[in-house]
Amino acid sequence: NAGVTQTPKFQVLKTGQSMTLQCAQDMNHNSMYWYRQDPGMGLRLIYYSASEGTTDKGEVPNGYNVSRLNKREFSLRLESAAPSQTSVYFCASTPVSTANQPQHFGDGTRLSIL
């Protein structure tokens, strides 16, 4: 009963390096999200995908790209990592696009940019 799986759990990068955070859900959910969590700021939406084949920007999209590879997978890419992108990244999913559906979260990826 995996739910939402994020890989890796921890990563250290040097400034300018690139990497992709992976997210997969096995609940047949339509919508998927990427958030970053910084101290004192709650969760901020980076990108989301309402359904397979669509992606949209959230509150803080600069410096990131996403790919909704299929219904299960939604990846987040940092093309040229910056220290300001040091954060904890969460992937989440919801079944359908209605207001009463809570999000199911992965366990997070702790990313440090040196």
Q: Give the residue among 77, 104, 107 at the shortest CA–CA distance from 92.
A: 104
Q: How far is the CB of 38 from other proteins (least distance, A)?
A: 10
Binding to other proteins by residue 114, rule CB under 8 A? no
Between CA 44 and CA 15 the distance in angstroms is: 22
Q: How far is the CB of 73 from other proteins (least distance, A)?
A: 18
- Written as one string, the DSSP assignment of 34-51 is EEEE-TTS-EEEEEEESS
Number of residues that bind other proteins (CB under 8 A): 27
Which one, 64 or 90, has the nearer CB to other proteins? Answer: 90
Which of 22, 61, 63, 104 is the binder for other proteins (CB under 8 A)? 104
Binding to other proteins by residue 26, rule CB under 8 A? no
- The interface with other proteins within residues 33-72 (CB under 8 A) comprises 33, 35, 40-45, 48, 50, 56, 58
Tokens read off for 114: 């040196």
Q: 75 near 69, Cβ under 8 Å?
A: yes
- 16: phi then psi, degrees, rounded to nearest 5: 95, -15
Q: 113 near 81, Cβ under 8 Å?
A: yes
> Residue numbers of the site for other proteins (CB under 8 A)?
31, 33, 35, 40-45, 48, 50, 56, 58, 88, 90, 92, 97-105, 107-108
